[in-house]
Structure 1
């Protein structure tokens, strides 16, 4: 295992279990290991439907709102 991959694994170890599982699935998929499709919760499906409806209506975040969101997360 490369040093970089070891660093990544150590960084992921401290994350919550559900986040670790999500990252493991992504890594396995990138490595060519087939993964079952992700099953959305009813809440996630409703959020996606609401987002698509907003996009259909042309309701998008302003540049200012996007900058504020990035700033909130220190990016």
Structure 2
């Protein structure tokens, strides 16, 4: 295992279990390991449906809004 990968694993260990599982699923998908389909909660499904509806209406975040989100998360 490379040092960078070890550093990433150590960082992920400090995250809540739900985030660790989400990242593990992504990593396994990148490594071409089959994963079961992710099941959305009713709240997540409703949020996803609303996001799709907003996209269909052409409602997207402005560059300023995107930059604000990035700044909020230190990106």
TM-score bracket for this pair, using the shorter chain length: 0.7 to 0.9
Equivalent position of 1:58 in the other structure: 58
In structure 1, the gaps of 5 or more residues are: none
Q: Which structure 2 residues correspond to residues 11-22 of structure 1 after superposition, within 5 A?
A: 11-22=11-22
> Pairwise CA RMSD of aligned residues?
1.5
TM-score under structure 2 length normalisation: 0.82
Equivalent position of 2:25 in the other structure: 25
Q: Is the radius of gyration larger for structure 1 or structure 2?
A: 1
Equivalent position of 1:47 in the other structure: 47
Q: Distance in 1 between matches of 2:65 and 2:35?
A: 35
- The count of corresponding residues between Structure 1 and Structure 2 is 75
Deviation at 1:74, TM superposition (A): 2.9
Q: Which SS does the other structure have where 1:51 is aligned?
A: helix
Equivalent position of 2:71 in the other structure: 71
In structure 2, the gaps of 5 or more residues are: none
